[in-house]
Amino acid sequence: MIKGIGTDIALISRFENKSEHFIERILSKEEKSVYLSLNEERKIVYLASRFSAKEALFKAIKKSFDFSKVSVLNKENGEPFVKMDSPNTIHISISHDGDYVITYVIIE
């Protein structure tokens, strides 16, 4: 049974030149490790996609949470997954093209 659906779209260029404070508030420790391994162009897309994913998750679960305590990671095949303390199954899809990233989240 579907318990929640969330979506978010973000303009990637909004995430250029973000402060370290902003990055610390958005990324978990695991995500920050991935972020630091990327080149500058990929860092912007990565930050935008994680922000979009957590906004969509927030909309789907209908309650606030600390963004830095939730990880949106990728399996070896590239499929994203959410790592958080939740009794529910969380489905997530992230896509980016051109100037935008879009995320869909379904909570079962």
> Using one digit for the tens of pLDDT, what is the confidence trace for 84-93?
998 899 999 9
Rounded to whole angstroms, the Cα distance separating 28 from 42 reads: 17
Q: What is the mean pLDDT of residues 98-107?
A: 98
> Using one digit for the tens of pLDDT, what is the confidence trace for 27-79?
999 999 999 999 999 999 999 999 999 999 999 999 889 999 999 999 999 99
Beta-strand relationship, 100-107 and 80-83 = unpaired
Q: Where are the beta strands (DSSP E) in 4-107?
A: 4-11, 71-74, 80-83, 90-97, 100-107
pTM: 0.94
Rounded to whole angstroms, the Cα distance separating 51 from 72 reads: 10
For residue 87, what pLDDT is reported?
Answer: 87
Query: What number of CA atoms fall less than 13 Å from residue 99's CA on the CB side?
Result: 3
